[in-house]
Structure formats: C-alpha cells, structure tokens
Amino acid sequence: MGAIKMPSSSAIAKAYDDAIPRVAARYKEKVGEVTDFKEKTLAGHANYLIEMAKPDVLARQKEGVEEMPPGKWKDGAQTKGAARIGPGMTAATADRTKNYEPIRSGLDGFVIPDRTTDWETNIDNRSKAVVRKMKEIAGKI
C-alpha cells in the first residue's frame, strides 16, 4: 500500500499564483488547437440528455451547436475567455484555497492499494478510491 503525498497548501497556492500570468496565453493556444468541437459536442449529446433531462433546454443546445459556424466558439473563447481567465483566477484565489484545502489535506497521506498489472483493477482500487475520498471530504457522499 502506498500513501498519497500532497504538496503543501503554500506550494499549491504559489503554483496557482505563479500560473496566473501564463494562463491566458496558454488558454488561447489550447483553444486554438481544438479541431473537433462540434463533432465531440454532438457525440456527447446523449449523455447531456441523461444528465439535464430538460427537453426545451436540450433542444436549444443542440440547435445552437448545429447552427454555430465552426470557428465562432473558438474566436469567442480566445478573445473573451483568454482576457477573463487571469483576472478570474486572481479573484478566485481565496475561494480556491477555502474549497480545495480540505480536499488537499484529506488526501495527504491517504493510503491506496499498490498498482497491479490490470488497468481496470487499478481504476477500481486506486482512482475510484481517491475520487470517493474527495467526494466524502467535499460532503457530496
């Protein structure tokens, strides 16, 4: 069995603060690399139906995606999103700390089973255990 070693709260805060000046350019770059937004969005429509279960909302979403010119969402994300993300992160620093610190400290030292040669077993025993712990800490289960 191995224990998770989480970075300190101050190390995470520093990494977060250090990322703010770089994130807008990186966000814009990554949005520019997306080539299959419409196809992936429409391919995921069945899951969206299950989760949202509001026919009028779903019909509007589907229609909007089908009518959207391929580059429109990307242009908006690169011009509006890139400009907003750094200031948004700065404004959210206190909330990030308040919301994430209990999860970070709860995962620090959390023991998970050793890795096996079977990927499905690893997901079941390791990944799901971490997600379950995070949800418990967040009060979601």
pTM for the model stands at: 0.54
Domain ranges within the chain, ordered by starting residue: 10-92
CA 92 to chain centre: 15
The DSSP secondary structure of 31-57, one letter per residue, reads HHH---HHHHHHHTHHHHHHHH--HHH
Average pLDDT, the chain: 91
Cβ atoms of 89 and 23 within 8 Å: the answer is yes
Per cent of the chain over pLDDT 90 is: 56
